[in-house]
Amino acid sequence: MASLDTKFKLNTGAEIPAVGFGTWQDKDAQEGAVTEALKAGYTHIDTARIYGTEPAVGAAIKKSGIPRSKIFITTKLWNNAHHPDDVEPALDASLADLGTDYVDLYLMHWPVAFGRGDTMFPKDNNGKTINGDTDFVETWKAMEKTFKKGKAKAIGISNFSRKETERLLKETEVVPAAHQIEVHPYLQQNEACEWFRSKGIHVQQYSPFGNQNEIYSKGQNMGKLIDDPTLVEIGKKYNKNGAQVALAWGIAQGHSVLPKSKTPSRIKDNLEGDFKLEKEDLEKLKGVDKGMRFNDPSANFGWNFYVGEDGKVE
């Protein structure tokens, strides 16, 4: 069964493909991986300044011969460029690496500012992160300007709490088009996702396979989400695997999902995670929610993320 090719509408009126191709990690493998993804039929590619994969994404798109207008590209502003004077130059640098004059979606990667400069993770002599003093509201106002200039067709946020988002909405003009957060069947965040939706903010799921990623130490001493018996059992009914069920679950919530892989067969399989789950199976999947968050870099980043949100361990 091929992919349904589901698309969602952003508050700008633009359409975003439900399955995006994530390019975090494995920097040197990304040009080949993105080439495979485009060949398989992906039209939505997700990158970020910090990933170091923008040049690979740009090169793969160029080689593919697919018109720029047919591909939805997301990239993200890194924490060292939050000062209002640094936002547009940071986007310009991303655009140069991507080989394009606009991105479809530009996200503020985290609500925290690091010290200004070329160092991605500025540290003091004790190895502690040096934080900047720019408030995310000021950063957002600078992002609004890139949106108005057309360099970013839509702007959004990532890793914000509802409280932080509420402040942003109150003190700025442009409602974020999207919010990219950790969501998967083990961290369903129904209440938060419903709240973002009610504000006209589209939810994007990063780490849609939860603890499949070895970088998350918290998920290492437990079974993998994609091997969860409930997901595997539901998958058999549709001739799908647990990973594909996890993606279909996200799409059924109205979210776009961002799986990543460098294996051609898995790249193709993930795109085929865009299929329709029956209501009874969606009901069963409600039962696997553990409120389990695998990604929380609060200690390293000098900022208390996700306050008041599911899966936050204080």
C-beta atoms surrounding 223 within 10 Å:
10
Amino acid at the residue 117: G
In whole angstroms, how far apart are CA 25 and each of 38, 54, 71, 173, 199? Answer: 18, 12, 21, 34, 32
Instruction: Name the token pair of 108.
Output: 């503020």
Q: How many residues does the chain have?
A: 314
Mapping DSSP to helix (H, G, I), strand (E, B) and coil, where does residue 176 land?
A: coil
Q: How far is CA 223 from CA 181, 210, 229, 235, in A?
A: 22, 11, 10, 17
Candidates 8, 2, 1; CA nearest to 252 is 8
Q: What number of other Cβ atoms are within 10 A of residue 106's Cβ?
A: 27
Q: Residues with Cβ < 8 Å from 18, sequence gap 6 or more?
A: 6, 7, 8, 251, 255, 256, 257, 274
pLDDT at 194: 98
- Which amino acid is it at 261? S
Whole-number pLDDT of residue 91: 98
Report which of 70, 20, 69 is spatially closest to residue 267, judged by C-alpha positions: 20
Of 42, 51, 106, 186, which is the active-site residue?
51
Pairing of strands 155-158, 256-257: unpaired
Does residue 51 have an active-site annotation?
yes
Rg of the chain over all Cα atoms, to the nearest angstrom: 19
Pairing of strands 44-46, 256-257: unpaired
CA distance 28 to 50: 14
The gap between the terminal CA atoms of the chain, to the nearest Å, is: 44
Q: What residues form DSSP beta bridges with 106?
A: 75, 155
Residue 243 makes CB contacts below 8 A (sequence gap 6+) with 209, 212, 226, 259, 266, 269, 270, 273
Each residue's pLDDT, cut to its tens digit, for the chain (314 residues) gives 567 899 999 999 999 999 999 998 777 889 999 999 999 999 999 999 999 999 999 999 999 999 999 999 999 999 999 999 999 999 999 999 999 999 999 999 999 999 999 999 999 999 999 999 999 999 999 999 999 999 999 999 999 999 999 999 999 999 999 999 999 999 999 999 999 999 999 999 999 999 766 666 666 678 899 999 999 999 999 999 999 999 999 999 999 999 999 999 999 999 999 999 999 999 999 999 999 999 999 999 999 999 999 999 87
Q: Report how far apart, in Å, the C-alpha atoms of 105 and of each of 44, 127, 163 are.
A: 10, 33, 23
79/73 Cα distance (integer angstroms): 20
Token pair 């460098």 is found at 262
The answer to whether 283 and 264 have CB atoms below 8 angstroms apart is: no
208: its two tokens = 């849609």
Q: What is residue 217's predicted lDDT score, i.e. its pLDDT? A: 64
